[in-house]
Amino acid sequence: MSEEAGAVIIGGGVNGLGTAYYLGKKGYDDVIVLEKSYIGSGASGRSGGGIRQQWTSKENVKLAKRTRKRFEKLDEELDTDIEFYQGGYLVLAFTEEETEQFPKNVEMQNSLGLDTKYISPEEAKEIVPQLDISDVKGATFNGTDGTMYPFPVVNGYARAVREMGIDVRDHTEVLDIERDGDEITAVKTDDGVIETDTVVNAAGGWSSNVAEMLDVELPNKPYRHEIMVTEPYERFLEPMVISFHHGIYFSQSAHGNVVGGIGNPDEEPGLNQRSSLWFMKKFSDTLLDFIPAFGGVNMIRQWAGFYDTTPDGQPIIGSVPEVERFYQLNGFSGHGFMVSAAVDEVTAELVSGESPSFDIERLNVKRFEEMDIEEEGGVVG
Ligand SMILES: Cc1cc2nc3c(=O)[nH]c(=O)nc-3n(C[C@H](O)[C@H](O)[C@H](O)COP(=O)(O)OP(=O)(O)OC[C@H]3O[C@@H](n4cnc5c(N)ncnc54)[C@H](O)[C@@H]3O)c2cc1C
């Protein structure tokens, strides 16, 4: 069986579906989104739900600010409650290096219109009274950051794009992409062939594998990141609390559950999504150092997903030199929701032949060969 499509989007996560949504808003309905498992089965359904604008690179700050503004209206747009709660992000400094760097981050973020503040440990304790501040040297806080619930976002997008006439196919795996010279001709799935000249690679942790189908090499590597959730409690924690130094983040969801994770610096790259005992112990011990009162809290579930990691911690957006109309939308590391709406809208503009409304030159894959890359220092977990 063979059929035709104006564009095929590989990946039914927030970015594949977000791009379909912006294409749908432009009136395109000959688009097919392919997802090898269920909607949100990749990193999107495994995320911590954080929406943070406090980044160290200008690109990420701008993308995140634009996305936060979109998320403030997403309930209305998708006609669903995405549980976006703007309790802020409290970023704790524990080292001399951080106390030197954080005020510079604040200055840069302020220059881009964000109201981030550098605050003392005592002011941090006013925001989270249960926090042990004995080792905290300072902090930054932005009150418009927050958290959302990933599932209503991805399912809301899927429903909205289907209503726009776009075909979203779950449990349909892309096996190969065919090309004639530098032009794409077809996408081969486990359910038939789709003739198309345009493909968006929004395959998250699998994006390098998808690129290989066209002999395109991406520098992305998937790394397992683990996360857990506790029983629900009455709200006591307003912001998401994070520490780059410890690699930990935790917040309280709209339902009252504490959700948090911690990175393992010794994790090897690979497609491993198993949970580990190491995580459960490391996360619990570190969390108790931050908030001793968490001693009586019960963890109910842990899981793992991938950070699709690039060498500079910033996403890869746009065209590749080797193949025409093969657009990358990947490499989101631990912040694919936070920048999603901005990059999805730009990708829809590229697919539809419009000039991008946001300068994405520094996010093109060519940067690794041709530019001095600016490493993002704000990845946590
Ligand atoms: C533990 C954890 C916590 C996180 N916390 C946050 C957070 O607080 N805030 C934040 O912004 N981000 C967070 N992230 C990162 C965020 O979840 C991701 O960056 C984001 O979800 C990426 O979305 P995506 O749509 O690009 O990719 P994904 O959601 O990974 O979707 C890609 C999809 O492509 C599909 N696919 C792959 N290959 C094929 C194929 N051959 N054929 C068909 N389909 C295919 C996969 O099944 C997958 O569903 C976290 C990630 C993890 C793992």
Which tens digits make up the pLDDT trace of 341-362?
999 999 999 999 999 998 999 9
In the chain, ranges of CATH 3.50.50.60 domains = 2-46+151-220+312-370
Residue 201 CA to ligand 1 center (angstroms) comes to 12
Mean pLDDT of 140-166: 98
**Over the stretch 168-212, which tens digit does the pLDDT of each residue have?**
999 999 999 999 999 999 999 999 999 999 999 999 999 999 999
**Over the stretch 61-111, which tens digit does the pLDDT of each residue have?**
999 999 999 999 999 999 999 999 999 999 999 999 999 999 999 999 999
- Atom 15 (ligand 1): residue with closest C-alpha? 334
User: How many whole angstroms separate alpha carbon 199 and alpha carbon 184?
Assistant: 8
Q: Which residue type does 134 have?
A: S
Q: Predicted confidence band at 1 (pLDDT cuts at 50, 70, 90)?
A: low
Nearest one of 84, 80, 86 to 152, comparing CA atoms: 80
Nearest one of 67, 19, 66, 63 to 349, comparing CA atoms: 19
Longest CA pairwise span in the chain (Å): 66
Residue 15 CA to ligand 1 center (angstroms) comes to 8
- Atom 12 (ligand 1): residue with closest C-alpha? 335
- CATH architecture assignment, domain 2-46+151-220+312-370: 3-Layer(bba) Sandwich (3.50)
Q: What is the pTM of this model?
A: 0.97
**Over the stretch 291-323, which tens digit does the pLDDT of each residue have?**
999 988 899 999 999 999 999 999 999 999 999
The number of the ligand 1 atom at minimal distance from the alpha carbon of 189 is 42
**Mean of the per-residue pLDDT values for the chain?**
96
In the chain, ranges of CATH 3.30.9.10 domains = 84-143+221-309
Q: Taking a C-beta distance cutoff of 8 angstroms, is the pair 327, 221 a contact?
A: no
15 lines ligand 1 (CB under 6 A): yes
Instruction: Confirm or reject CATH 1.10.150.120 for domain 84-143+221-309, answering yes or no.
Output: no
18 lines ligand 1 (CB under 6 A): no
- Atom 9 (ligand 1): residue with closest C-alpha? 50
